[in-house]
A and B are shown apart, each in its own frame.
Chain A
């Protein structure tokens, strides 16, 4: 039920290579360009952050695993542009524009960049769903993971935390549900919590009895545990 991006806890990866604090922000010129093209295309307003994440997650596993970070961004963006009918497959294949666009008034000009980056895109929304849990309550995550609206759809419960019992440590208010928003099914906002799990609840051989992992989880991912 998971996709290739859901890698928390996976075995087989090598050592981590730390970077100096003063290393360049972008190691190649095209990395910065890839980030900037993605943000500028996002400003056209044809998709939200959940749709764009799901676009990257839907890359074929062999591509996702072999691509570098910004290659995944570019591949995801190509898919979004075609899905949202901003560009056609023919335009991508030809490498040039064919025909005009009705979105040109949405273009983010250079003088708008600072304002757009500073205003952000908050994810909290009003909701009719009552808050069911309090700080300190014990909850269990879904035993079977996966999007309940769209088979193979976007969800934010990592596989490593499926069917686990944890403790509510924060209530973040009511937030857009990615499982809905990623598929243009509406915000469907509901309560969001930080839930702490003992490492021994998640791993066969936890490193230390006092360690915990905390995840942000939506109310519909949870049920009361006694």
Chain B
């Protein structure tokens, strides 16, 4: 049986130690080689700063709150439904939406790396990628929730989804009380990123 990767003298040690200089060095070498287009890097950054983020997920959730047929279809085949809204893409190829109810509260984590539904939520926040969240969310989700200010009723169950494959999960938070007359656009403002990861609840109106 072959042994994998000798761990001595890793190539990264050849680069400058300062991280910003390290990135710059890789960008410079790859650009000189004709392998990356610096304008493409600008485009990627701008896309995730301004176009692909949690507003996409909030749009999906608000539609689910206001349209029962949409919600039923979303829970059955999320990939097809979000694709119709233009939210298919990288790191969202196999979407599953899990619904919070009076009985079950769902939370998403990736203990092995940082898997996250990019087309619906964008690039994950720092805490989602932190060792503390990855280590603790599966073992003590209620303590983790408390650090986000969320307390659940004692008879509710918590279901933690560890994203170990290429399926990506999105939480459908519960619709807050007192929002009966609100339209999709107004509801979207109540739907936070954290409520779709499960570390938060939708905001009160």
Contacts and interface: CB of A to CB of B under 8 A. Distances in A.
Interface of A: 5-19, 21, 23-30, 32-37, 39-41, 44, 49, 53, 56, 58-60, 63, 65, 68-71, 74-79, 81-82, 86-87, 89, 91-93, 95-97, 100-101, 103-104, 106-110, 112-114, 116-124, 149-153, 156-158, 160, 170, 172, 175-176, 178, 183, 192, 194, 196, 202-203, 207-208, 210-218
A30 B23 contact: yes
Interface in B123-181: 123, 125-127, 129-136, 138-144, 147-148, 155-167
A36 B44 contact: yes
Nearest to B36: A40
A225 to B, nearest CB: 19
B121 to A, nearest CB: 11
A216 B159 contact: no
A119 B136 CA distance: 33
A18 B113 contact: no
B41 A36 contact: yes
The 5 closest A-B pairs by CB, nearest first: A8-B111, A210-B157, A216-B165, A97-B32, A75-B12
24 contacts: A7-B111, A21-B193, A30-B19, A36-B42, A37-B36, A69-B114, A79-B11, A81-B11, A92-B29, A96-B28, A117-B89, A118-B90, A120-B89, A123-B165, A124-B94, A156-B164, A170-B96, A194-B161, A207-B158, A208-B158, A210-B158, A211-B158, A216-B162, A216-B167
B41 A33 contact: yes
Contacts of A10: 131, 135
Interface residues of B, number: 95
A152 B48 CA distance: 34
Nearest to A216: B165
Interface in B16-59: 16, 19-20, 22-30, 32-37, 39-45, 47-49, 52-54
A156 to B, nearest CB: 5
Contacts of B192: 21
B204 interface: no
Contact of A104 (B34, B48, B92): B34
Contacts of B48: 25-26, 32, 35
A121 B10 CA distance: 28
A172 B168 CA distance: 11
A6 B22 CA distance: 26
B100 interface: no
Given A7-B131, A37-B41, A108-B36, A212 B194 contact: no
Contacts of A117: 44, 47, 52, 89-90
B143 A13 contact: no
Contact of A120 (B25, B93, B147, B157): B93
A14 B133 CA distance: 9
